[in-house]
Amino acid sequence: MSLTDRAYDAAGVEQASRDLLVAVGEDPTREGLADTPSRMARAWSEILSGMTEDPREHLRTQFHAGTDELVLVRDITFYSVCEHHLLPFYGRAHVGYIPRGGVVTGLSKLARVVEGYAKRPQVQERLTAQVADAINEVLHPQGVIVVIEAEHMCMSMRGVTKPGSSTVTSALRGIMNDGATRSEIMALVLGGQR
């Protein structure tokens, strides 16, 4: 059974939220918390909305641009949830590809792919690879690069408690793996960082 085969159970999330509040020593009926379980059910439905979609579908919108030059969209903001602690991680994705035969997709479609894979329980390493693989599988470009920089709340607000630390992952496909091409592309992606 895949993630998309399961239905979101809002009532179950509400009950689990009530149970969590009780388990941590709170009174879920007190003012301020009385509506929290239903708010959490609505919030988690939105936070995990990528579970019910195939982000690759966004890439099926294609057109002929007549160029095989690099297409790069930097600083795509995303929010996700670490599957190990169910705490947020968030950051920026940089997504690029070199078309084949002049076939490209809309720039917003790259952001939608990031969003679709981010809005599910994730690890950053898998998220990075999923975005790269989707572009590679659907567009059949000469090469793909995905670099993700993120801060993980499971490191910032608990455990080692190192707020502001950044984790960087990358996935390269096709000609992006060539040494000189890789260096040039990484410089474009990360060179303009603030």
Do the beta carbons of residue 131 and residue 93 sit within 8 Å?
A: yes
- Kindly give the pairing relationship between strand 167-174 and strand 143-152: antiparallel
Q: Of residues 64, 69, 84, 193, which has the active-site annotation?
A: 84
Q: Could you tell me where the beta strands, DSSP code E, fall in the chain?
A: 62-64, 71-82, 88-98, 103-105, 121-122, 143-152, 167-174
Of 57, 85, 151, 184, the active-site residue reads: 85
Separation between Cα atoms, residue 192 and residue 194, nearest integer Å: 6
Distance (Å, whole) CA 152 – CA 86:
11
Q: Which of 115, 124, 130, 149 is catalytic?
A: 124
Catalytic annotation present for 140: no
Is 84 among the residues known to form the active site?
yes
Catalytic one of 58, 82, 94, 149 = 82
For the question of residue 124 being annotated catalytic, the response is yes
Q: Point out the catalytic residue in the list 62, 142, 154, 184.
A: 154
Residue 85 falls in the annotated catalytic set: yes
Helix H or strand E encompassing 21 = helix 10-23
Residue 122 a catalytic site member:
no
58 in active site: no
Active site residue 82: yes
The residue from 69, 83, 125, 137 that is catalytic is 83
Active site residues: 82-85, 124, 152, 154
